[in-house]
Amino acid sequence: MLPTGIHFESYAAETRVLKTLRSRIWASALALGLLCAPLFAGAYLLGVASEMFITLMAVYGLYVTVGMAGQINIAQSAFVGIGAFAAAKLSSYGQPVFVVIPLAALAAGCVSILFALPAVRVKGLYLALTTLAAQAMFPIVIYALPASWLGGLAGMPVEPLTLFGADLGTPTGFYYFTLALVALLTISAFRLQHSRFGRAMMAVRDNDIAAEVMGIPVMRVKLMAFFVGSLFAGVAGACLAYFLQFVTAASFTLFASVWYLGMLIVGGLHSRLGPILGVVFITVLQEGLHKVANTLMQAGSGSGGMLFALTSIILGGCILLALIFEPRGLAHRWAVLRNAFQIWPFPRN
Q: Is 188 a residue whose pLDDT tops 70?
A: yes
Closest alpha carbon to 75 in 31, 104, 108, 100: 108
Q: How many CB atoms within 10 Å of residue 226?
A: 29
Element (H, E) at 247: strand 246-247
314 or 15: whose pLDDT is higher? 314
Which DSSP letter does residue 177 get?
H
Q: Is 205 a residue whose pLDDT tops 80?
A: yes
Mean pLDDT of the chain: 85
Which DSSP letter does residue 156 get?
E
Least confident of 138-142, 272-276, 318-322: 318-322
User: Are the C-beta atoms of 251 and 88 separated by less than 8 Å?
Assistant: no
User: Are the C-beta atoms of 161 and 98 separated by less than 8 Å?
Assistant: no
Q: At what angle do helices 218-244 and 97-119 cross, to 10 degrees?
A: 140
CA Rg value for the chain: 21
Q: pTM of this prediction?
A: 0.90
Q: Is 111 a residue whose pLDDT tops 80?
A: yes
Q: How much is the pLDDT for 228?
A: 93
Closest alpha carbon to 77 in 230, 202, 181, 277: 230
Q: What is the pLDDT of residues 54-105, one digit of tens each?
A: 999 999 999 999 999 888 888 899 999 999 999 999 988 888 888 999 999 9
Domain regions of the chain by residue span: 41-252, 254-349
